[in-house]
Structure 1
Amino acid sequence: MRKDPTWRIPVGILGLLGALAIYALLVSRAAGPIGGLPVLVQTVIYIVLGTIWLLPLRRFLIWMETGRWR
């Protein structure tokens, strides 16, 4: 069974790249205040910030493939 590509895949990839670029800029702007915190607190913050963007990714990838959000 072969599926033809849809417009959602290239648009989704561009959207994902754009959203990640904006998110990276926001996190990098927060690096100054975070840098003044103790190292263990920084570690926890960066682990959370490094993984939080994954939360909406599953539904976004499902939308790219199927056109549905669930």
Structure 2
Amino acid sequence: MENTTKMLFDKKSVATLLDVSVPTINRRMKNDKHFPKPLLIGGKNFWSNEQINHYIDTIQSECTSTA
């Protein structure tokens, strides 16, 4: 059975998951066409684990296709 637990990550958590800084997340939000659009909850940005996993898959496939 597939794990269907949905989790939300704030900007700092996403930065930690991607091993980048929060300013890098801000730049990616502005300039990276593949970076997922956040959910706005209570004035804060959040991303689902599904969005982040898809983004990671996308950038990994781009890296392997250009190598």
**Same fold (TM > 0.5):** no
Bigger RCO (CA 8 Å, 6+ sep):
1
TM-score (norm 2): 0.30
Question: Counting strand residues as a fraction of each chain, which structure ranks higher?
Answer: 2
TM-score (norm 1): 0.29
Question: Counting helix residues as a fraction of each chain, which structure ranks higher?
Answer: 1
- Give the greater-gyration-radius structure (CA): 1
